Structure 1
Amino acid sequence: MGEIRDGARIGAWAVVGVLGLAVLYVVGAFAFGGAMWITAPFRGEVDKRENTVASGEFRQTTYEEFFDLCEAVQNAEGTIQVLQEERKAASETRTTQIDQSITALKATRIESVNDYNSKAAQEHRAPFHDKDLPYRLDVGAERTTCTN
């Protein structure tokens, strides 16, 4: 009888031990999983910043992108001016073609100005905006200067 009682006691301790380990595992999973869930927004922001702002390629590309956008605006303005000069001596058929081209170039210029201004306003791009470039470009301006 004593052996059965000792065996039952050992069995009960084994069951309690297994249940205790299971409870400990569940509590640990919730504790660490909860900590990861709570810090997810912070970790996500750090990862995003490290993958973009801290990237040398991103910084260089962004810096050059502002110059490219400003230059695109100036190129459209220059082409519009050349077409307007040509229009003065053009035939009626050519005048119609020139007017269509000017309209398309004005739309392209507006898109480039809006793209430039949108990117200049983005907080993560602002540090890479060259000091000699204007902060914003004016859609209504006839001529754009890409240096201050």
Structure 2
Amino acid sequence: MGRVREGARLGTWAVGGVIGPAVLYVIGVFAFGGAGWITAPFRGEAEERGNTVGSGVFRQATYEEFFDLCEAVQNAEGTIQALQEERKAASEVRTTQIDQSITALRAARIESVNAYNAKAAQEHRAPFRDKDLPYRLDAAAERTTCTN
């Protein structure tokens, strides 16, 4: 009977020696795998942002986008001025059309100013704005200058 007890005790230690590390391994996999699973969205977003912002295509596109938005503001201003000149000698019907066009152009100009200012305020885009472009555009200004 003593040998059986000693064998059972030895068997228990052997099983515990195999099962114990296996249980610890499974707990470790869930603990570290679970932490990786929880942080995966954050790590993925950070990696994606790094890939996007760090790419030459993004930098070039952002650089050109600031010029395009500033130019859109200037184009609207130029068209508004031309329509105002035309309005001086226009018929009543044409005056109504010109007024509608000017209203639409002013709205488009404000949208372009707001888009420019929003992008200029974004931390990841601001470094790619040309040094000669203004930091912000003024929606109330009569004329916009796209170079300092």
TM-score, normalized by length of structure 1?
0.85
The 5-angstrom pairing of residues 20-99 of structure 1 reads: 20-33=20-33, 36=36, 43-44=43-44, 46-99=46-99
TM-score, normalized by length of structure 2?
0.85
Q: Which residue of 1 aligns with 2:109?
A: 109
Residues of 2 paired with 1:67 and 1:33: CA distance?
46
Q: Which residue of 1 aligns with 2:19?
A: 19
1:30-83 superposed Cα distances (whole Å, 9 cap, x missing partner): 442365378668735641432222111111110000000000000111111111
2:53 counterpart SS class: coil
Q: Sequence identity, in percent? A: 82
Residues of 1 paired with 2:138 and 2:125: CA distance?
19
Q: Alpha-carbon deviation of 1:93?
A: 0.7
Aligned length: 148
Unaligned runs of 5+ in 1: none
Moved more, 24-33 or 66-75: 24-33
Moved more, 27-36 or 69-78: 27-36
Unaligned runs of 5+ in 2: none
Residues of 1 paired with 2:48 and 2:143: CA distance?
37
RMSD: 2.6
